[in-house]
């Protein structure tokens, strides 16, 4: 059987959704790497934070992206973590607890003002 992109069930329809999609929530956390005393959260510290605080909380997976942004008028290196999970009461509660623990830990460890959290409804197919 030869693959035909015109018969792919995951290709978006005129409504903008693939045939095999479900509604999920995507949460993105954005972490600044500048430390108030003038230091920077090092690459090693970022990897250690991912390993110690994020991987264990999201064993099914997440996406890590390096970036650069501005905060309070100054540019800084940053990174984000994106997690996609089912749009259910239980998942919102369970993931919400884990996400808030991560935010609080990063703020505490690296003396940050905050960690930005962005939540949105998304259509996904696996």
The angle subtended at Cα 31 by Cα 28 and Cα 37, nearest 5°, is 165
Question: DSSP label at 111?
Answer: T
d(CA 109, CA 104): 9
Query: 39: number of CA atoms within 13 Å, CB side?
Result: 9
pLDDT, residue 34, reads: 93
pLDDT, residue 80, reads: 97
pLDDT, residue 69, reads: 87
Q: pLDDT tens per residue, the chain (126 residues)?
A: 566 666 666 655 555 556 678 899 999 999 999 998 889 999 999 999 999 999 999 988 999 999 998 888 888 999 999 999 999 999 999 999 999 999 999 999 999 999 999 999 999 887
Burial of residue 74 (number of CB atoms within 10 Å: 0-12, 13-18, 19+): exposed
Burial of residue 37 (number of CB atoms within 10 Å: 0-12, 13-18, 19+): exposed
Question: DSSP label at 122?
Answer: E
Sequence ranges of the domains in the chain: 22-124
Sheet holding 22-32, edge to edge: 63-71, 74-86, 22-32, 116-124
pLDDT, residue 21, reads: 84
> What architecture is domain 22-124?
2-Layer Sandwich (3.30)
* pTM for the whole structure: 0.82
């Amino acid at each position: 059987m030869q693959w035909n992109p015109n018969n792919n069930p995951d290709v978006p329809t005129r409504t903008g959704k693939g045939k095999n999609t479900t509604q999920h929530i995507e949460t993105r956390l954005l972490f600044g790497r500048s430390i108030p005393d003038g230091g920077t959260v090092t690459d090693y510290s970022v990897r250690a934070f991912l390993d110690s605080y994020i991987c264990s909380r999201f064993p099914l997976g997440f996406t890590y992206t390096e970036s650069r942004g501005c905060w309070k008028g100054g540019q800084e290196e940053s990174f984000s973590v994106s997690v996609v999970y089912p749009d259910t009461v239980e998942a919102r509660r369970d993931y919400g607890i884990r996400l808030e623990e991560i935010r609080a830990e990063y703020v505490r460890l690296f003396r940050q003002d905050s960690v930005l959290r962005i939540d949105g409804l998304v259509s996904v197919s696996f």
